[in-house]
Amino acid sequence: MTQHVSLPARTYQGVIGLALALGIAGGWLGIHAYGMFVFELTWTNWPFALMLAVVQCWLSVGVFIVCHDAMHGSLMPGKPRVNGAIGAVLLALYAGFAWKQLRDAHFSHHKLAGRAGDPDFDEHNPDNFRRWYATFFRRYFGWRSILFVHTVVGIYWLVLDIPMIQIVMLYGLPALGSSLQLFYFGTYRPHSHRQGQPFADRHNARSNDFGTFTSLVTCFHFGYHLEHHHRPDVPWWGLPAAKRAGVSKSELTAKVPA
C-alpha cells in the first residue's frame, strides 16, 4: 500500500521551522559568545570546555541543516526572501560561505547525485573517505572562507587577546568537527559506493537505519537521506515521519528541484 508524507499547513510549518532555527542558531551564537568573551579556559575547567565544544559542534551541524532547509524553501514555505536572508546570514557566520554559490551547488547535487559533476561527490574515490573528504573540503572551503576564518581568529587573538588554545578548542575544533560530521553522516554514508550495498534508484542515495534520537544526534536527521532526495520539500524535523511513512514511486521525480 502506497503511503504519503503529509506536511502541516505552510504557516504552521513556517512557525515550527523558525522556532527551531532560532533555538539552534541562538544556542550556537550564545555558546560562541560565552566561549570567546566570558569563559576563561584553565587546567581545572577544560572538561567543561570540551563539553561546550562537543555541543557547539552539534549545533554547528544544526545551523547548516537550517540553511539547507532554507535552500529548499522548507524552512519558511512560500517566503523565498525570508529563506534567503536567513540562509545567507547563517552561512556567512558559519564560515564566510556565499549563499547563492552553495545553494546552486546543492541543487546541482540533487540533479547529479552520485555521478560526475555532482559537487558533493568524488567520482574518482567513491568509497575512500579520506580522499573524498579532501575533495569535498577543497571545493567548498575556498579563499572566501579561509579569509573569513583567518580574519576572525586574528581579531580574537591579536586584538581581543583571547588565548589561542581557547580559540582552537571552542571555535576551530567545533567548526572542523561539524564539517566532518556533516560529510560523514550526510554525504559519505548516503552516497558512497559500498560493496554489496546497491542504491535503490537514480538518486544514488541510501538512508541510515538509526532510531530517531540517534539520527537527531548524528546529523539532525540528514542521514535519512533517500527520503530527503525523494521529498526535498520536507524539513529536517519531518524526515523521521517521512522515513516511517515511506515514499510512493510517483513521488520519486515529483519534488526534485529544477
pLDDT in tens, 74-123: 999 999 999 999 999 999 999 999 999 999 999 999 999 999 999 999 99
Q: Is residue 235 part of a domain?
A: yes
258 pLDDT above the threshold of 70: no
Q: How far apart are CA 190 and CA 232, in angstroms?
A: 15
Residue type, 238: G
Task: Find how far residue 72's CA is from the centre of its chain.
Answer: 13
Q: How far apart are CA 202 and CA 214, in angstroms?
A: 27
At 85, which helix (H) or strand (E)?
A: helix 80-95
Q: Is residue 2 part of a domain?
A: no
- E-state strands within the chain: none
Q: Is residue 256 part of a domain?
A: no
Q: What is the DSSP code string of 158-201?
A: IIS---HHHHIIIIIHHHHHHHHHHHIIIIIHHH---TT---SS
Q: Is residue 22 part of a domain?
A: yes
Percentage of residues in the chain having pLDDT higher than 90: 84
- In angstroms, what CA-CA distances link 29 with 22, 23, 24, 210, 249? 10, 10, 9, 29, 41
Rg of the chain, C-alpha, whole Å: 19
Q: Which domain covers residue 143, as residue numbers?
A: 10-186+201-251
In the chain, the number of structural domains is: 1
**What's phi and psi for 220, nearest 5 deg?**
50, 45
Q: 121 near 114, Cβ under 8 Å?
A: yes
Q: What is the pLDDT of residue 256?
A: 39
Q: Is residue 193 part of a domain?
A: no
Q: What is the pLDDT of residue 250?
A: 37
Q: Is residue 191 part of a domain?
A: no
Q: Is residue 4 part of a domain?
A: no
Q: 25 near 63, Cβ under 8 Å?
A: yes
Q: Which residue has the cell 587546567?
A: 43
Q: How far apart are CA 59 and CA 175, in angstroms?
A: 10
Phi-psi region of 73 (alpha: psi -120 to 50; beta: other; left: phi over 0): left
Q: Is residue 123 part of a domain?
A: yes
Q: How far apart are CA 130 and CA 199, in angstroms?
A: 22
Q: What is the DSSP code string of 32-51?
A: HHHHHHT----SSSHHHHHH
Report residue 246's pLDDT band, with 50, 70 and 90 as the boundaries: confident
Report residue 248's pLDDT band, with 50, 70 and 90 as the boundaries: very low
Residue 99, SS3 per DSSP: helix
